[in-house]
């Protein structure tokens, strides 16, 4: 009997994962996680391993938000502004990846892994910037709906 409950709950998590990854936000977060992990591998195998920290942090933050949105916890814990938290996460990811990646590409002469991590980091910076833009559009849409409904009441 307990095995049936475990199998059905794990199947529902897998179904939630599969359905969430098919959404735009799920795809963006999954791509951020994979790209951050790739950058971490590149930086870890370079001569200068100190650049791994931003990749690890951004990967962990993306995993946390992926799980929160996938499980619907953002709708259960409404005391936290998840949209603004996600906006801050994506914006700081953009800035951090662009700055560290430019440093790595410029500094990485002779260190192929550092240059590869820098190039992937620039791509991640663009992806995080796109995520920031989509979140901004979501905030702007919610704000215009709130202002529109506030004037009619």
Can you give the pTM of this predicted structure? 0.85
pLDDT, average across residues 52-77: 93
Look at the chain and count its residues: 153
| pLDDT in the model for residue 100 | 94
How high is the pLDDT of residue 153?
46
Average pLDDT over residues 51-76: 93
How far apart are alpha carbons 103 and 114 in whole angstroms? 10
For residue 7, what pLDDT band results from cuts at 50, 70 and 90?
low
Q: How far apart are CA 21 and CA 68, in angstroms?
A: 13
Nearest to 69 by CA among 23, 37, 36: 23
Q: What is the mean pLDDT of residues 23-31?
A: 94
Q: How far apart are CA 31 and CA 38, in angstroms?
A: 10
Domain boundaries, the chain: 23-143
- Compute the average pLDDT of residues 93-119: 92
- In this prediction, residue 149 carries a pLDDT of 66
């Amino acid at each position: 009997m307990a095995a049936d409950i475990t199998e059905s709950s794990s199947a529902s998590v897998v179904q939630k994962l599969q359905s969430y990854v098919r959404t735009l936000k799920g795809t963006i977060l999954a791509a951020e996680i994979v790209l951050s992990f790739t950058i971490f591998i590149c930086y870890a195998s370079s001569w200068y391993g100190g650049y791994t920290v931003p990749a690890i942090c951004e990967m962990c933050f993306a995993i946390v938000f992926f799980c929160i949105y996938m499980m619907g916890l953002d709708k259960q814990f409404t005391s936290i502004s998840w949209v603004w938290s996600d906006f801050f996460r994506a914006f700081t990811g953009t800035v951090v990846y662009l700055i560290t990646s430019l440093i790595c590409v410029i500094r990485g002469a002779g260190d192929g892994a550092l240059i590869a991590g820098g190039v992937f980091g620039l791509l991640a910076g663009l992806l995080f910037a796109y995520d920031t833009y989509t979140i901004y559009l979501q905030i702007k849409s919610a704000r215009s709906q709130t202002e529109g409904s506030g004037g009619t009441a």
